[in-house]
Chains A and B, each alone.
Chain A
Amino acid sequence: QKEVEQNSGPLSVPEGAIASLNCTYSDRGSQSFFWYRQYSGKSPELIMFIYSNGDKEDGRFTAQLNKASQYVSLLIRDSQPSDSATYLCAVNWPGGGADGLTFGKGTHLIIQP
């Protein structure tokens, strides 16, 4: 069973603080991990992807991957009201088929001005 788990929130964070979003997945063999941001009524857009254990930084965003713990997180530094959205964690499973990404239900993030 392919499962990606996220806390649905809402997660409320003051403007300027660090927002921490977490995701766990069920298959230890998973190879690639993605964070998408989705504004209400819009389509998902890619924020970060990560393939290797450790941290990957891109501007205010840092993705962290721990394959041993089957855990991936997204940190947003200096949170802005425009960061308020639903953040979807997605995992690509190993195996021969394309299968697509399996998505978590998303965490609703609210940045309080």
Chain B
Amino acid sequence: NAGVTQTPKFRILKIGQSMTLQCTQDMNHNYMYWYRQDPGMGLKLIYYSVGAGITDKGEVPNGYNVSRSTTEDFPLRLELAAPSQTSVYFCASSYGKESEAFFGQGTRLTVV
């Protein structure tokens, strides 16, 4: 089982560039999440989705956008990258709201 797959694993962006972080899961989970983790900090929720076609903001959504056209895919879009977006990004999915979250392997993004 692949679980939650994220691409790319590493990326360096210049200030002002844009990119999309890809996330796909094969567990047929309705709930999907994007978190960012800064050094020495816990994970902060960026966006989440409860099903295809439904997305909502988390704690730190500014500078990001998401879409959920299928159950499997939940891409995260960064527009006009800023140094403050340097972080490790984790995609996760869960069966339900009360269920454990399964994480992808993470994307380490550096904005210079």
When the two chains form their complex, are residues A98 and B105 in contact, meaning their CB atoms are under 8 A apart?
A: no
Chain B residues touching A, majority SS? strand
Q: Mark A71-113, 1 if CB is under 8 A from B, else 0.
A: 0000000000000000010101000011111111110000000
- Smallest CB–CB gap between A110 and chain B, Å? 15
Residues in B neighbouring A97, C-beta threshold 8 A: 50, 56
- Inter-chain CB contacts under 8 Å: number: 62
Interface string of A28-56 (1 = CB under 8 A from B): 00011010000000111110010100000
Residue total for A at the interface (Cβ-Cβ under 8 A):
26
Minimum CB–CB distance from B7 to chain A (whole Å) comes to 14
Chain A residues with a Cβ under 8 A of chain B: 4, 6, 8, 31-32, 34, 42-46, 49, 51, 88, 90, 92, 97-106
